[in-house]
Amino acid sequence: MPSLQSEPAWLESPATAFDSSLQQPIQTSERIKPLQIGKLTLPNNLVLAPMAGVTDGSFRLLCARLGAGFTISELASAKAITMKSRQTIDMVRFQGQARPYAVQLFGADPKIMARAAAFIEELQICDAIDINMGCPVPKVVKTGAGSALMKTPELAATLVKAVKQAVSLPVTIKCRIGWSENSINVRDFVKTVVDAGAEAVTVHARTRQAGYSGTAQWHHLEGIKDICGPVPFIANGDISSPEHVSQLYERTGCDGYMIGRGCVGKPWLFSQLLGHDYFLDHKIQWKIFRHHLIDMLMEHGPTAVPLFRVHLFGYLKSHANAARLRHALCNERNPEVVLQTGHDFFST
Ligand SMILES: Cc1cc2nc3c(=O)[nH]c(=O)nc-3n(C[C@H](O)[C@H](O)[C@H](O)COP(=O)(O)O)c2cc1C
């Protein structure tokens, strides 16, 4: 894959159809390479993390356009899917043109999880089903779902088996290193879900107790690859640079890298990790910013500007007056004002 010479059409025309060419690494290496998940071949092993309120259709499409080899929906309630909730189905359906793509389901009832997964497969909107075993939010945990499954590995295994029986798509899981610092059980847990048939395993190197705070504990990811055997192991937590990718590979021998907050306000990180330096130019980054907001306006209508805020503050993070700007823009609803702010920032 030669380095990019001319501007991709979507930068000027957000409605341009998805084109997978930037997902090819310029050069494959032992770190960055295609990845096989069951019958699914990913063009590369850089995965956009599922993030509720962040990875809507527009952001998934943008990251895939910029090279992410796999994207995952925000967590979706299996129960809401089985009840045909319009809002939940729209959430996982929009911008499904960016492939490969997985829908992430949460739940603790094997029958409901299986029914939801079968319905999603029928819609033909995705290439895999991911089961959430890491969400720390009390509303989710108190139902036995999300990271509560780290305390009930047998139920986690039952969910994997039930979903696998219901669909022909690959079934993957995403978990944490444990429930609390006193109960780190990631090794046994991963063995249990792999034995149950999980076709890829992503581990976020924090406990439920840690939430999203502190530093990811990469040392707990060491040895997981051996437990997974031929099943792909994807490392997650605090990856935001090519150096992090190298360090994680050296330490864990992982098969892939999942990136969350590191690409918020920096979606070109995927292209950078693949070796394309084209998007590091500020003039091009301004066009990415503009494309992102316009695409969100197309997806969400008038609520796009408040929903864009998390990205806006990410894009402006290195601004000399970032704190003042955050304060000034925290209630802004006019897209023109937001566009002008982005334009001014990327032109200086
Ligand atoms: C705002 C936010 C929302 C998240 N939502 C989800 C989710 O829906 N499903 C999930 O499995 N993980 C979710 N996560 C966790 C991320 O996928 C990821 O595991 C975590 O942020 C660590 O990776 P990072 O350090 O690269 O951000 C969320 C994280 C954040 C910050």
- Over residues 204-229, the pLDDT tens digits come to 999 999 999 999 999 999 999 999 99
Q: Which residues approach ligand 1 with their CB closer than 6 A?
A: 49-54, 74-75, 104, 132, 134-135, 174, 204, 212, 236-239, 259-262
Catalytic-residue membership of 263: no
pLDDT tier, 348 (very low <50, low <70, confident <90, very high otherwise)? confident
Mean pLDDT of 43-65: 97
Q: Which residue has the higher pLDDT, 14 or 283?
A: 283
H runs (alpha helix) in 131-280: 138-141, 153-166, 186-196, 224-228, 242-252, 269-274
| pLDDT, position 1 | 52
- Decide if pLDDT at 10 tops 70: yes
Q: Residue 194: is its pLDDT beyond 80? A: yes
169 and 147, same domain (yes or no): yes
Across residues 263-280, what is the average pLDDT? 95
Same domain (yes/no): 262, 287: no
For position 321, what pLDDT does the model report? Answer: 87
Last residue of a domain, one of 237, 253, 278: 278
Provide the terminal-to-terminal Cα distance of the chain, rounded to the nearest Å. Answer: 32
23 lies in some domain: no
Last residue in a domain, options 278, 304, 338: 278
pLDDT for residue 70 is more than 70: yes
Question: What's the per-residue H, E or C state across 31-69?
Answer: CCCCEEECCEEECCCEEECCCCCCCCHHHHHHHHHCCCC
Tell me if 236 is assigned to some domain. yes
Cβ neighbours around 214 below 10 Å, total: 11
How far apart CA 291 and CA 278 sit, in angstroms, is 16
What gap in Å lies between CA 291 and CA 288, rounded to an integer?
5
Question: Containing domain of residue 336, as a range?
Answer: 281-347
Per-residue confidence band for 322, with pLDDT thresholds at 50, 70 and 90: confident
How confident is residue 3, by pLDDT bands cut at 50, 70 and 90?
A: low
Distance 61 CA to ligand 1 centre (A): 18
Out of 260, 278, 296, pick the residue that ends a domain.
278
Domain membership of residue 22 (yes or no) is no
Q: Are both 202 and 292 inside the same structural domain?
A: no
Q: For residues 56-68, give the mean pLDDT.
A: 97
Q: Tens of pLDDT along 336-345?
A: 999 999 999 9
Q: How far is residue 68's CA from residue 53's CA, in Å, rounded to a whole number? A: 19
Mean pLDDT of the region 81-106: 95
User: The domain spanning residue 239 has which CATH number?
Assistant: 3.20.20.70
Same domain, 291 and 149: no
**Within this chain, do residues 343 and 216 fall inside the same structural domain, yes or no?**
no
Which tens digits make up the pLDDT trace of 25-39?
A: 988 999 999 999 999
Of all residues in the chain, the percent with pLDDT exceeding 70 is 99
- Which whole number is the average pLDDT over 299-320? 94
Residues 90 and 157 in one domain: yes
Q: What's the 12 CA to ligand 1 centre distance in angstroms?
A: 30
- Name the catalytic one among 63, 126, 135, 254: 135
- Global pTM value: 0.97
